[in-house]
Amino acid sequence: MADEAKVVSPIHVMVDLETLGNGNDAAIAAIGAVQFSFVDLKFERKDFYITIDPRSSQRHGLKIDADTVLWWMRPELAEARQQTFLDKGAVDLPSALMGFGDWLPPKEAMAGLWGNGATFDNIILRSSYRACHMDAPWSFRVDKCFRTLNQMFPMQGHDRKGTAHNALDDARNQTDHLLAIWERVNFRMDA
């Protein structure tokens, strides 16, 4: 008897980085991401979160910007700062990138790698792979900009959950917001 084939839609990934700069070569402190798709008509999501020792990012040539460090010192960011920079489980940059690459779906299954800004998350992540002499584990053809879509639908509100500027909480919120926009425009992810 043959196994029944699963109905799987293309997989999208929302990624959010916490960094110590805002240029293409910014030092990464945390990666948060959410995979989302439909399997047998049921919505599935899978989370990824890792903190990175910023000294490792810097050792690989990525930049720490004083203005961004001062921004992180604002009192309202105390919880996010603690979660991001005082995590005893922080790893070196190459280990984080390998872990993220292992977690990502295969290139051929990936429909989109969404970042919050056409010149931020995806580009910084790709630059980090290059700084570590590694190939980015996704095709540039699937790079997508959540910020652009969000600005195209300003009427689509979203109730934020978790800690602002925690990479995983931000990736989850951006995913929920993206799905609400898609629902509003009747986008079929499983088509």
What DSSP string describes 127-165? HHHHHTT---SS-GGGEEEHHHHHHH-TT------S-TT
Q: Which pLDDT tens digit goes with each residue over 149-168?
A: 989 887 776 788 999 999 99
Q: What domains, with CATH codes, occur in the chain?
A: 11-184 (3.30.420.10)
Tokens of 168: 């995983």
Q: Which pLDDT tens digit goes with each residue over 13-43?
A: 999 999 999 999 999 999 999 999 876 556 7
Is 27 within 8 Å of 64 (Cβ atoms)? Answer: yes
Mean per-residue pLDDT over the chain, rounded: 91
User: What's the pLDDT score for residue 1?
Assistant: 43
Q: Which pLDDT tens digit goes with each residue over 107-135?
A: 999 999 999 998 999 999 999 999 999 99
Tokens of 139: 């095709």
CA atoms within 13 A on the CB side of 83: 19
User: What's the pLDDT score for residue 102?
Assistant: 98
Cα 76 → chain centroid: 22
pTM: 0.91
Does residue 137 register a pLDDT over 90?
Answer: yes
